[in-house]
């Protein structure tokens, strides 16, 4: 039986395992096709591919691009991208360079709330200096005892009007979809149930995403409930989008679902891996 996991992270972004370790864990847990989809970064794919060849597993070259759409932060996964494509690489480089400024502003905001040293703390926890994410700040804050776990850190800090949150402009939806497509990849709207959008906004997003050339939507993802599997399965069918499935695994004990733990797609969904 084939088992697909089309969304995962390594230490090249905010995951806890190196690309090779991630691939080995996926293979051990019965995944037969894994996509490595680091945030705004493709540098882990070479090591992941070598490990996948050793394990006899299929690796899909992927990426997860940060997007600002109508004031909301969204994530668009690209599957089967060409990591060597110059337009994609230039786009990702531009997105990563914004992260440096944001990290400095986040640290200044935490400092005002009485928390010193968070920029150094986050950087020390990021293996990739170009990819300091909120997750690295969150791990620093948990280790220093400011919150119990990652979930509560994001409730108390780093979101909304809480200390450590700074507004940021990521790529546009058009850019992210365009970069993925120009490199030969399939754009997939990541974990749609996490966005705070009303029905009209959801409809507008899916219509625009499809018009721009979006290929699929994550119906099954670690952070969706069983009810959301059904809801997003219906939306995928309604908008003519393929259905994807990915754990969004970041590390042992840190993620909603581990590698290889995903349920099947709801009936009636057309799986994106039919196109691979
Ligand atoms: P960034 O792209 O730097 O804004 O960081 C976003 C990352 O933060 C996501 O990819 C998740 O890994 C993590 N994250 C966001 N919200 C939460 C949450 N409530 N609990 C745990 N991790 C979260
Ligand atoms: Mn992440
Ligand atoms: Mn995401
Ligand atoms: Mn992710």
**Average pLDDT, stretch 171-178?**
98
Q: How far is the CA of 74 from the centre of ligand 4 (A)?
A: 11
The confidence score (pLDDT) of residue 125 equals: 98
**Average pLDDT, stretch 194-201?**
97
Q: How far is the CA of 191 from the centre of ligand 4 (A)?
A: 8
Ligand nearest, relative to CA of residue 138? 1
Ligand nearest, relative to CA of residue 74? 3
Which ligand 1 atom lies nearest to the CA of residue 73?
A: 4
pLDDT > 90? residue 1: no
**Average pLDDT, stretch 48-61?**
98
DSSP state of 162: S
> Probe ligand 1: pick from 133, 136, 148, max atoms within 8 Å of CB?
133
Q: How far is the CA of 242 from the centre of ligand 1 (A)?
A: 25
pLDDT (tens digit, 9 = 90+) per residue, 206-216?
999 999 999 99
- Tokens, residue 38: 């680091």
Supply the pTM of this predicted model.
0.98
Q: How many CB atoms lie within 10 A of CB 24?
A: 17
pLDDT (tens digit, 9 = 90+) per residue, 62-91?
999 999 999 999 999 999 999 999 999 999
Q: How many CB atoms lie within 10 A of CB 225?
A: 9
| CA neighbor of 244 nearest in space, from 127, 75, 87 | 75
The confidence score (pLDDT) of residue 33 equals: 98
Ligand nearest, relative to CA of residue 136? 1
* Cβ(2)–Cβ(32) below 8 Å: yes
Which ligand 1 atom lies nearest to the CA of residue 135?
A: 8
* Structural domains in the chain plus CATH codes: 4-84+172-275 (3.20.20.140), 93-156 (1.10.150.650)
pLDDT (tens digit, 9 = 90+) per residue, 226-240?
999 999 999 999 999
DSSP state of 60: E
The confidence score (pLDDT) of residue 84 equals: 98
Q: How far is the CA of 249 from the centre of ligand 2 (A)?
A: 8
- The answer to whether the CB of 159 is under 6 A from ligand 1 is no
* Cβ(19)–Cβ(44) below 8 Å: yes
Tell me which residue has its CA closest to atom 12 in ligand 1: 135
Which ligand 1 atom lies nearest to the CA of residue 99?
A: 3
**Average pLDDT, stretch 29-44?**
98
Percent of the chain with pLDDT over 70: 100
Tell me which residue has its CA closest to atom 8 in ligand 1: 135
- Angle 118-125/86-112 helices, nearest 10 degrees? 140
- SS3 string, 63-75, reads EEEEEEECCEEEE
pLDDT > 90? residue 2: no
Alpha-carbon radius of gyration of the chain: 18
pLDDT (tens digit, 9 = 90+) per residue, 251-275?
999 989 999 999 999 999 999 999 9
Ligand nearest, relative to CA of residue 66? 1
């Amino acid at each position: 039986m084939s088992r697909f996991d089309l969304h995962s992270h390594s230490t090249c972004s905010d995951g806890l395992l190196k690309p090779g370790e991630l691939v080995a864990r996926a293979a051990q847990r019965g995944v037969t096709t894994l996509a490595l989809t680091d945030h705004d970064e493709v540098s882990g794919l070479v090591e992941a591919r070598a490990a996948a060849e050793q394990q006899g597993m299929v690796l899909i070259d992927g990426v997860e691009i940060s997007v600002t759409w109508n004031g909301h932060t969204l994530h668009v996964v690209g599957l089967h991208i060409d990591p060597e494509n110059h337009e994609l690489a230039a786009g990702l480089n531009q997105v990563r360079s914004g992260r440096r400024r944001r990290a400095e502003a986040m640290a200044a905001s935490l400092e005002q709330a009485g928390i010193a040293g968070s920029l150094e703390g986050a950087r020390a926890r990021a293996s990739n200096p170009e990819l300091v994410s909120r997750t690295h700040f969150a791990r620093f804050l948990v280790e220093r005892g400011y919150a119990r776990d990652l979930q509560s850190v994001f409730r108390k800090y780093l979101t909304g009007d809480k200390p450590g949150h700074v507004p940021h402009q990521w790529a546009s939806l058009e850019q992210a979809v365009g970069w993925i497509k120009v490199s030969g990849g399939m754009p997939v709207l990541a974990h749609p149930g996490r966005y705070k959008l009303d029905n009209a906004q959801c409809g507008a997003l899916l219509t625009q995403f499809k018009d721009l050339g979006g290929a699929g939507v994550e119906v099954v993802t670690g952070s969706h409930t069983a009810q959301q599997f059904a809801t997003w399965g219906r939306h995928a069918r309604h908008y003519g989008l393929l259905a994807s499935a990915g754990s969004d695994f970041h590390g042992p004990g840190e993620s909603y679902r581990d590698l290889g733990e995903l349920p099947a797609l709801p009936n009636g969904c057309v799986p994106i891996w039919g196109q691979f």
